[in-house]
Amino acid sequence: MPARLGIRIVAVALLGASYVLACHWLMTRAPASPWNVVGVLAPMLVAVAIGAWRARQRWLGAGAALLVAALCGQALLGLQSSPQLLYLAQHVGINGFLAVGFGSTLRAGHTPLVTTLARRVHRDFTPAMALYTRRCTLAWTLYFVAISAASVLIYALAPFDAWALFANLLSPISVVLMFGAEYLLRYRLHPEFERSSVADAIRSYLHGSAAKAPAAPRDSAA
């Protein structure tokens, strides 16, 4: 793995770990602070705003920026929010953002996200592979929508401990199972896919245009 790629992966991992630790500290050490909600949700919303703006989804970027401003406004007014609601908003927000990120690439005239990543990793890319990766993008979109909906329903209908088990343990396990099931299905249905590693996928995502395969026209398969 190139040194620059390794440094970027480590930097992203450290930022993620710092965010998780900061959220935990705010939730446990400063639960009464009106700035609690800002510290927990603002970094996520800023990331959404930047990503949406770069993807030319101006309405989503502007909406996320306005939410950050609203959170800061409520903190300045001294209004407090329930810590449990913050956990719910964080969990649903992350999964909802991923659903939008995958789903927005399924629009007409756009290349599905999984198709884009696969074309950067695999040298030979057939129409059947393009259709499969489009369906895979749809599957991930529906998965994140389902996780968000389940999170809200469990929070509303079950004790908080049950929701915490779902959010903190079952959700990560389901992501791993989803990856594993897709991996097995991919090579069962399409053995023409070249074997690739997680590092290849990360490299294709981080490097963007620095791909193994030449750029391909946008996929319009239905």
Residues 16 and 27 both lie in one domain: yes
Residues 87 and 108 placed together within one structural domain of the fold? yes
Q: Of 46, 81, 116, which closes a domain?
A: 81
d(CA 185, CA 201): 17
Q: Are residues 88 and 74 in the same domain?
A: no
Q: What percent of the chain has pLDDT over 70?
A: 74
Residues 75 and 95 grouped into a single domain: no
Mean pLDDT, rounded, for 151-180: 89
With a CB cutoff of 8 Å and minimum separation 6, the contacts of 75 are: 34, 35, 37, 38
Whole-number pLDDT of residue 55: 65
Q: Tell me which of 40, 64, 81 is where a domain ends.
A: 81
Look up the domain containing 65 and give its range: 1-81
Do 64 and 147 share a domain, yes or no?
A: no
Residue scoring higher pLDDT (163 or 63): 163
Domain termination residue (choose one: 35, 66, 81): 81
Is the predicted pLDDT of residue 88 greater than 50, yes or no?
yes
Query: Which whole number is the average pLDDT over 28-46?
Result: 73
Name the residue with tokens 């469990």.
154
213 band by pLDDT with thresholds 50, 70 and 90: very low
Tell me: do 181 and 89 sit in the same domain: yes
pTM: 0.66
More confident residue, 134 or 192: 134
CA nearest neighbour of 183 among 94, 112, 118: 118
- Average pLDDT over the chain, rounded to an integer: 76
If asked whether residues 28 and 92 sit together in one domain, one would say no
Q: Are residues 86 and 47 in the same domain?
A: no
Query: Is 96 a residue whose pLDDT tops 80?
Result: yes
Statement to judge: residues 170 and 213 lie in one domain? yes
67 and 90 share a domain? no
What pLDDT is stored for residue 222 in this prediction? 35
Q: What is the pLDDT of residue 87?
A: 79
Number of domains in the chain: 2
User: Which residues lie closer than 8 Å to 39 by C-beta, 6 or more apart?
Assistant: 22, 23, 26
